[in-house]
Amino acid sequence: MSETLAVGRAVPDAPAAALTPSLDGRRKLQLALGGSWLLDGILQFQPSMFTKAFPAMLAGTAAGNPAFVASPIHWSATLITHHLVVLNAIFATIQVALGLGIAWRPTVRLALAASVLWSLAVWFLGEGLGGVLAGPASLTDGAPGAVILYALLAVLLWPADREPDRRPARFIAARAAGEKTALALWTVLWASMAFFALQPGYRTASGFSDEIRDMAAGQPGWLAWPVSHLASLLAGPGLLAASLLAAAFTVTAFSIWLPARAARPVIVLALVLAAFLWLAQGLGGVFTGGSTDPSSGPLLILLALAYWPAAQARPEAVPGAEGA
């Protein structure tokens, strides 16, 4: 452990920084993903999650979904209502454990695999498949589902190299999944968001604006102000804003296939779009006391960083980095 090393008798004068194990880019992103899980777990321990508002929120995601989605959601919401404290404590503990499991190198694979399963379960039972089948999937609610991004990141940051003996991967996300698969996943994600931006609800003068304005409710003043102003800005030209947003998502989705030099501006655009969405989402409502996660904005940022073209995405082997 790095902290212990600097005070050991054998190396009393070594600078602390020199004794800290180095982290490669993928490990840093894994730790950021783990930190997100830990934050989610702590948010899940909030007092409001131990009230019936939590299962009511889950039941609300069934609205508009087909029966094969809605029925299990109602069943799970009812079950949680009957065993609220125990089940919510278990849910929160699982998320804390996922975060700590990703942090601890010996369990990183287990935790990432478990996080994929957990994400899929929550995406189905807790988010109603992100509203994808419900009709009006909402970008401000994190469509196609914030939690599915956890699963996607876990797959892309899996601690293995698909082609370890060949040239280094062009970006971190390609190391485990392979370049074409990673690029295809990126395209599907951002193209789906372009599709959601053109839903009928957004093709009105104030559709997008009204959704954003709702996100300002319950927020502290310093955050409610920019969110409200963003909503006001988009109040008139709603259709134009939705079209521009859809165009930006589409460019982001497909320009990623361009060579590395051209792809960098695309990643920057993705970062800007993610930041814009996060603001429109009211930073996920973390300041309202009733949020289970910070929504899709930070995860999209994390995802974009995993696609940043790097000259050397696969570093020299670092002792202790095995498995991570």
Partner 1 sequence: MSGPGWLTGLLTAVMLTVAAYNATRLAAAPRWGRAAELDADGTHVVMGVVMAGMLTPALSFAPRPLWLTVFAAGGAWFGWQFLRTRSGQAAGRWRCPHPLPHLIECAAMVFMLALPATATAPAGMGTALTGAAAGFSPLTLLLAVFMIGYVMWLGNNLSAPAVATATGTTVIARTGFLAPRCAACCKIAMGVTMGYMLIMLL
- Please select the residue that binds partner 1; options are 164, 200, 220, 259, rule is CB under 8 A: 220
Give the amino acid at 176. A
CB nearer to partner 1: pick between 135 and 323 = 323
User: Given candidates 60, 236, 265, 289, which one binds partner 1 under the rule CB under 8 A?
Assistant: 289
* Residue 226 found at the interface with partner 1 (CB under 8 A): no
Q: Rounded to the nearest whole angstrom, what is the least distance from the CB of residue 173 to partner 1 in the complex?
A: 20
Asked if 305 is part of the footprint of partner 1 (rule: CB under 8 A), the reply reads: no
Q: How far is the CB of 35 from partner 1 (least distance, A)?
A: 5
Q: Is 47 in the site for partner 1 (CB under 8 A)?
A: yes
Q: In terms of CB distance, is 97 or 256 closer to partner 1?
A: 97
Q: Output the DSSP codes for 284-320.
A: GGTTTT--SS--HHHHHHHHHHHT---S-SSPPP-TT
Q: What does the alpha-carbon distance between residue 77 and residue 278 come to, in Å, rounded to a whole number?
A: 27
CB 273 within 8 A of CB 256: no
Q: What span, in angstroms and rounded, lies between the C-alpha atoms of 97 and 168?
A: 32
Close Cβ partners of 138 (under 8 Å, ≥ 6 residues apart)? 131, 196, 201, 211
The span of 36-44, 132-140, 159-167, 252-260 binding partner 1 (CB under 8 A) equals 36-44
**CA 198, 199, 203: angle at the middle one, nearest 5?**
70
- Tell me the chain's radius of gyration from C-alpha atoms: 21
Asked if residue 7 binds partner 1 (CB under 8 A), the reply is yes
Residue 324 three-state SS: coil
Residues 80-119 that bind partner 1 (CB under 8 A): 85, 89, 96, 99-100, 102-106
Contacting positions for partner 1 (CB under 8 A): 1-16, 18-23, 27, 31-32, 34-35, 38-39, 42-43, 45-48, 50, 85, 89, 96, 99-100, 102-106, 218, 220-222, 286-289, 318-320
